[in-house]
Amino acid sequence: MTFDFVEPVVFAVLAIGVIAAGASVVLINRITAAALLMALTFLCMAGMFVLLGAETIAAFQVLIYVGAITVLILYGVMFTKYGDRPYGLFFQRQTPLAAVFVFALAVPVAIWAFTFTAPPPRPGGGDLPSLATSVFTDFSFPFEVASVLLLAAMVGAIVLTKRDEAREFEARRP
């Protein structure tokens, strides 16, 4: 019995997962649910990476996206409240127009996307050795720059959210 049917099936499942979860993020009202669905999207995405043979990338995907970014988003959700507003009215005013544009863009592009074909691939191995080699030799400079970028982002985020204690003390004075 050949197991050739496994890959397409898994792909189909993962694809449906990605698309459905993604659409739900856009359409679901409750933010927490949306955040968790986003995490599900990321997981399915990681699965797709594995299917493609890029295990390292998949690992990173889970670590960074599902791990860090989802947590960050949840933090953001926690710290911002809707206040008295009801959960309704959650589409922007420009929604119809936006829908038209996006639809006009999406359909042709998606159709066109289907037409891509690739030569039959070389038998896989993982991607880790070549990836590691590239990053640390050819692309070592961007790698270092990326570190600096992260540092800058970290500092920036801290600076932005630093409480101005003096002002708040003044504001709270009777």
Partner 1 sequence: MIQLVWLIPAFPLAAFLIDGLFGRRWLRAWTGWIASAAVGASAIVAIGVFLEVLGGKQQTVVQLYRWIGVGDFQVNVAALIDPLSSTMLLVVTVVSFLIFVYSNGYMAEDRGLWRFFTWMSLFVFAMLILVMADNYLLMFVGWEGVGLCSYLLIGFWFERPEPYYAAKKAFVMNRIGDWGYTIGIITIFLVFGSMNFLDVFKRVEESAPAQSALTLICLALFFGATGKSAQLPLYSWLPDAMEGPTPVSALIHAATMVTSGVYLVARSTPLFAAAGSSLEVVGVVGAITAIFAATIALVQFDIKRVMAYSTVSQLGYMFLALGVGAPVAAIFHLATHAFFKALLFLGSGSVIHGLGGEQDMRRMGALRRKMPVTFWTMLIAGGALAALPPLAGFWSKDEIVGAAFTNGHVLLYAIGIVTAVLTAFYVTRALWMTFYGEPRDRHLYDHAHESPRVMILPLAALALGSVVLGIAIGFPPEQGFIHRFLGPAVEVPGAVEHVPELATILVLALVSVAAGVIGIAVAISVYVRHRPDATAIARAAGPYYRILVNKYYVDELYDHRIVEAARAFAGASWAFDIHIIDGLANRIGWLLSLSGTGARRLQTGIVGNYALTIVAGLLLVLVAYGGYAAGVFGR
Partner 2 sequence: MVPLGAYIAVSAALFFIGCAGVLVRRNAVVILMCVELMLNAANLALVAFSRRYGAVDERGSVFVIFVFVIAAAEVAVGLAIVLSAYRNRPVVDVDEIRAMKG
| The only residue of 71, 102, 107, 155 in contact with partner 1, by rule CB under 8 A | 102
| The only residue of 81, 86, 166, 172 in contact with partner 2, by rule CB under 8 A | 81
Report how far residue 52's alpha carbon sits from residue 11's, in angstroms, rounded to the nearest whole number: 10
Under the criterion CB under 8 A, does residue 171 sit at the interface with partner 2? Answer: no
Residue with tokens 């829908």, as numbered in its chain: 99
If the CB atoms of residues 90 and 139 are measured against partner 1, the closer one turns out to be 90
Under the criterion CB under 8 A, does residue 145 sit at the interface with partner 1? Answer: no
Under the criterion CB under 8 A, does residue 43 sit at the interface with partner 2? Answer: no
Q: Which of residues 133-162 bind partner 2 (CB under 8 A)?
A: 133-135, 138-139, 142, 146, 149-150, 152-154, 156-158, 160-161
Under the criterion CB under 8 A, does residue 33 sit at the interface with partner 2? Answer: no
Under the criterion CB under 8 A, does residue 127 sit at the interface with partner 2? Answer: yes
- Nearest-approach distance from CB 9 to partner 2, in angstroms: 10
CB-CB neighbours of 18 under 10 Å = 18
Q: Is there a contact between 46 and 33 (Cβ–Cβ < 8 Å)?
A: no
Instruction: Kindly report the backbone phi and psi dihedral angles of residue 86, in degrees, each rounded to the nearest multiple of 5, phi listed first.
Output: -75, 170
**Which residue from 56, 44, 52, 59 is spatially nearest to 134, judged by alpha carbons?**
56
Residue with tokens 């459905």, as numbered in its chain: 20
The one-character DSSP state at 29 is S
- Nearest-approach distance from CB 1 to partner 2, in angstroms: 18
